[in-house]
Amino acid sequence: MQITLVQGDITEQDVDAVVNAANSSLLGGGGVDGAIHRRGGPAILEECRKLRASHYGGGLPTGQAVATTGGDLRARWVIHTVGPVYSDTEDRSALLASCYRESLRVADDLGLRSIAFPAVSAGIYGWPMDDAARIAVTTVRSTATLVEDVRFVLFTPDAYRAFERVLNG
């Protein structure tokens, strides 16, 4: 597996799947979630609504992942995963690690070879970037997968540097 870092916009990645740091409703939101829904167009939201109606009426559980079309994105697929909200009183790191493992499992189920991840939970969900990077890189490195190309696409220079320290450390 080749792990690379990219500073930029995850919606512009030419990969088999991009991972969406979704909220449990699967109906769009802010940050990465909003950007993917805006750029990917209505087909993504339509499939998310169908998934909610058939399987996830109460919302997609934290740490789980599910795929929809990529709509108008370069990526054929969007893998939606719900990251945990950071807590300084409860260790929720296993849930964050599960987001990465489950996203890779979905990619394997679909026979995908390339995937782009954002820094799940490190935005509005408040996870400290250095810790989010450590969990993300460590989990991806230790997960058995058929995916050959894993990209972490980081929006800010600070996020890129945090992931770079872990990847090269």
CATH for 100: 3.40.220.10
104 vs 106: CA distance, rounded Å: 5
Say what the pLDDT of residue 56 is. Answer: 75
Kindly report which listed range (31-45, 50-64, 101-115, 121-135) carries the lowest average pLDDT score.
50-64
Of 9, 16, 33, 72, the catalytic one is: 33
For 144, how many CA atoms within 13 A lie in the half-sphere containing its CB? Answer: 0
Q: Does residue 57 carry a pLDDT above 90?
A: no
The tens digit of pLDDT for each residue in 1-50 reads: 999 999 999 999 999 999 999 999 998 888 899 999 999 999 999 999 99
Burial (CB count <10 Å: 0-12, 13-18, 19+), residue 76:
middle
Q: Is 33 a catalytic residue?
A: yes
Tokens of 38: 């805006």
Number of compact structural domains in the chain: 1
- CA terminus-to-terminus distance, the chain: 18
Q: Give residue 82's domain range.
A: 2-168
